[in-house]
């Protein structure tokens, strides 16, 4: 039991502001569209302000969870209601509130039917996203993790385009499939922790408690890592689990794509950082080559497929696969640079891909087409638009001076330290990234303005400039002065690295005395076999 340093449950307040807003909007009349939009925006701004309040209350020199809240919830299962944040979650939380606000403003003209349900869904989604980044109890975490799927399903299914129904259920099925395996993994560590042989003997879902587990690599860490991997890898998505992403991103409404790319994908990578590395450190070391391999395939494959796209939105979607590959490469470099870069790149990707989807949304709203071939020479007609597009593109490509560079650079350093070949292959991805982006820009913005429909295009209006501005600011800020972003997550990153290092040392020791290790391993196996005779048969 207990509340945080403020003596006030600030995190809970933040998490449930959007939910309260959504419930309030439910009671509005359908016809009061103006009022609904304004309320939704106001609610998201309040959430944003509250999330900014976290920053002064946050001590960025400590690696422990801060602003923690802890209440007993379901004692018979050992479930607690526990919230808390460290530097990693803080970054992602602030990013969530900012991007949600932007997503709401960007929808004012883009969404023009079933307004009420639309904003209810987005606010509901925000609560889910915030909860995932704050939860310190697996049960609570899982609730937020899953409940988020529902509003996203509706966003794609109702307000989407193309094969929206197909994409919506595909998204839902894929993620649910992975999540359920993660749930089995959670239950397994829950029972392992309750077994005095491995854990504290307590029945608890507390993430911090379970992070202290020291499980043997075989069979536990090995299989449990894979169970969690399935849950997170589908969400990220890593190659070869990415096939839902192009469909979902392409068919979702603009705000849906922004939230999906900006925040939802980060939950997968966040899951790897928060759960897989600290709970299964030895398995992380063990699986590192495979993870890095998949990440590299994702980087190159995503970029190559992006090159071949005719639809702008699909191109951006595949660029996400490539960029998330970078994040995964950074995480599984398993060193300080890689992990720092990966987390920073999570924010960067949220900012720049979010911005790209907004940019695509703007042009789609004007022309109702997203085919690259339908455009050309837009820069003369839409100067502000093309400038914003250019900056965003460069940010996404990783041009020095912009945010993407810092993240990718750190990831490459990390990858280089881990294995030079990885870094070498990843560089190919960067080059390809520059290629598809520049080629896209060239085909859309330069050349003759020969399509008559494009002659009448209007440049960005004030509202559009206003919601793009903060994103552009962040691109430059992180690009030129990334220190505050890096230092806030440093202690948390160090803690994870320390945990990995101790495991790595153990792994080395094990391999040097492999024979004895194998013997004890078989012994242990025999004991577990006896203990769970039925299980083994099963």
Partner 1 sequence: MMPTLPDIQLIAILPEMILAIMACALFVADPFVDREKKEQLGYFALAALGLSGLSTGFLWGESISTFSGMIVLDSYALFFKTLFLIVSAVIILMSVLYVKIERINLGEYYGLILMATVGMMFMPAATDLLSFYLSLELMSMSLYVLTAFMRKDPKSIEGGIKYFLTGIFASGLILYGIAFLFGATGTTNLANIAAFIRENETVSSPSLIMAFVLLVTGFGFKVAAVPFHMWAPDVYEGSPTPVTAYLSTGSKAAAFSAMLRVFIDAFALSNGNWWQILWIVAVLTMTLGNLLALVQTNMKRLLAYSSIAHAGYLLIGLIAANEIGYAAIMVYLVGYVFMTLGVFALITLLCSANLKGDKISDFKGLARVNPMLGLAFIVFALSLVGIPPSAGFVGKLYLFSAAIQGGFYWLCVIAVLNSTVSLYYYFKVVQVMYMDEPNESTVLSFSPTLKVAIAVTSFVTLFLGLYPEPIIKAAIHSVQTFL
List contacts with partner 1 (CB under 8 A).
26, 73-77, 114, 117, 139, 142-143, 146-147, 149-150, 153-154, 157-158, 165, 168-169, 172-173, 176-177, 180-181, 183-184, 187-188, 190-191, 532, 534-536, 538
Closer by beta carbon to partner 1, 173 or else 371? 173
Looking up tokens 């309260």, which residue turns up?
20
Rounded-to-10 torsion of CA 416, 420, 423, 425: -170
Residue 427 corresponds to which tokens in the numbers above? 């560089």
CB of 528 to partner 1, least distance (A): 9
- What residues pair up with 2 in beta bridges, in sequence order? 70
Longest dimension (CA), the chain: 78
Closer by beta carbon to partner 1, 154 or else 332? 154
Distance CA 115, CA 135 (A): 30
Closer by beta carbon to partner 1, 235 or else 349? 235
Closest CA to 57 of 4, 94, 132: 4
Closer by beta carbon to partner 1, 169 or else 457? 169
Distance CA 520, CA 506 (A): 15
Closer by beta carbon to partner 1, 2 or else 75? 75
CB of 114 to partner 1, least distance (A): 8
Residue 513 corresponds to which tokens in the numbers above? 């005395």
CB of 46 to partner 1, least distance (A): 24
CB of 93 to partner 1, least distance (A): 21
Helix 312-331 to helix 281-307 angle (10° resolution) is 160
Residue 27 corresponds to which tokens in the numbers above? 């009671």
Closer by beta carbon to partner 1, 176 or else 434? 176
Whether residue 57 contacts residue 5, with contact meaning beta carbons closer than 8 Å, is answered with yes
Closer by beta carbon to partner 1, 143 or else 297? 143
- Residue 162 DSSP symbol: S
The number of angstroms, rounded, from the C-alpha of 328 to the middle of its chain's C-alpha atoms is 11
Closer by beta carbon to partner 1, 27 or else 456? 27
Rounded-to-10 torsion of CA 157, 158, 162, 168: -10
CB of 39 to partner 1, least distance (A): 17
CB of 14 to partner 1, least distance (A): 19
Closer by beta carbon to partner 1, 117 or else 464? 117
CB of 26 to partner 1, least distance (A): 8
Q: How many other CB atoms sit within 10 Å of the CB of residue 57? A: 15
Distance CA 5, CA 66 (A): 8
CB of 278 to partner 1, least distance (A): 21
Closer by beta carbon to partner 1, 80 or else 408? 80
Closer by beta carbon to partner 1, 35 or else 499? 35
DSSP character string of 263-321 = IIHHHHHHHIIIIIHHHSHHHHHHHHHHHHHHHHHHHHHHHHHHHT-SBHHHHHHHHHH
CA angle 45, 50, 53 (to 5 degrees): 130
- Could you give the C-alpha distances from 522 to 65, 295, 324, 476, 530, in angstroms and in order? 38, 33, 39, 56, 12
Whether residue 158 contacts residue 117, with contact meaning beta carbons closer than 8 Å, is answered with yes
* 80-110 exposure pattern, b = at least 16 Cβ within 10 A, e = fewer: bbbbbbbbbbbbbbbbbbbbbbbbbbbbbeb
Distance CA 78, CA 83 (A): 15
Distance CA 422, CA 292 (A): 7
CB of 462 to partner 1, least distance (A): 34
CB of 180 to partner 1, least distance (A): 4
CB of 79 to partner 1, least distance (A): 9
């Amino acid at each position: 039991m207990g509340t945080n340093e403020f003596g006030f449950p600030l995190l809970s307040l933040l998490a449930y502001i959007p939910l309260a807003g959504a419930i309030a909007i439910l009671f509005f009349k359908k016809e009061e569209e103006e009022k609904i939009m304004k309320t939704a925006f106001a609610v998201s701004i309040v959430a944003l302000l509250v999330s900014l309040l976290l920053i002064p209350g946050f001590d960025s020199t400590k690696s422990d969870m801060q602003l923690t809240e802890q209440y007993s919830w379901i004692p018979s299962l050992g479930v607690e209601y526990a919230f808390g944040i460290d530097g990693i979650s803080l970054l992602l939380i602030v990013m969530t509130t900012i991007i949600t606000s932007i997503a709401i403003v960007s929808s004012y003209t883009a969404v023009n039917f079933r307004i009420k349900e639309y904003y209810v869904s987005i606010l509901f989604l925000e609560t889910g996203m915030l909860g995932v980044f704050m939860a310190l109890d697996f049960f609570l975490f899982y609730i937020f993790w899953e409940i988020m799927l529902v509003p996203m399903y509706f966003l794609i299914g109702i307000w989407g385009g193309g094969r929206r129904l197909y994409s919506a259920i595909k998204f839902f099925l894929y993620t649910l499939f992975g999540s359920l395996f993660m749930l089995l993994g959670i239950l397994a560590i829950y029972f392992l922790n309750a077994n005095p042989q491995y854990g504290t003997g307590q029945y608890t879902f507390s993430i911090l408690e379970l992070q202290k587990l020291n499980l043997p690599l075989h069979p536990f860490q090995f299989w449990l890592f894979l169970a969690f991997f399935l849950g997170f890898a589908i969400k990220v998505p890593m190659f070869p689990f990415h096939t839902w992403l192009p469909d979902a991103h392409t068919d979702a409404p603009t705000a849906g794509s922004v939230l999906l790319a900006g925040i939802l994908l980060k939950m997968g990578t966040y899951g790897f950082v928060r759960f897989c590395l600290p709970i299964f450190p030895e398995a992380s070391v063990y699986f590192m080559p495979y993870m890095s391999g998949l990440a590299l395939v994702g980087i190159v494959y995503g970029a190559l497929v992006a090159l071949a796209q005719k639809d702008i939105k699909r191109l951006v979607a595949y660029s996400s696969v490539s960029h998330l590959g970078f994040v995964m490469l950074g995480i599984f470099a398993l060193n300080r640079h890689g992990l720092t870069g990966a987390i920073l790149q999570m924010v960067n990707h949220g900012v720049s891909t979010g911005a790209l989807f907004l940019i695509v949304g703007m042009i789609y709203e004007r022309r109702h087409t997203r085919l690259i071939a339908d455009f050309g020479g837009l820069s003369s007609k839409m100067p502000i638009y093309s400038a914003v597009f250019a900056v965003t593109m460069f940010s996404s490509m990783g041009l020095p001076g912009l945010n993407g560079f810092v993240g990718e650079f750190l990831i490459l350093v990390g990858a280089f330290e881990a294995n030079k070949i990885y870094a070498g292959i990843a560089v190919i991805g960067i080059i390809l990234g520059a290629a598809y982006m520049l080629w896209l820009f060239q085909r859309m913005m330069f050349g003759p303005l020969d399509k008559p429909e494009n002659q009448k295009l209007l440049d960005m209006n004030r509202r559009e400039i206003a919601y793009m501005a903060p994103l552009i600011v962040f691109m430059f800020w992180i690009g030129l002065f990334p220190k505050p972003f890096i230092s806030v997550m440093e202690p948390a990153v160090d803690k994870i690295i320390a945990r990995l290092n101790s495991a790595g040392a153990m792994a080395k020791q094990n391999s040097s005395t492999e024979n004895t290790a194998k013997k004890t391993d078989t012994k242990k196996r025999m004991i577990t076999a006896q203990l769970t005779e039925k299980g083994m048969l099963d």
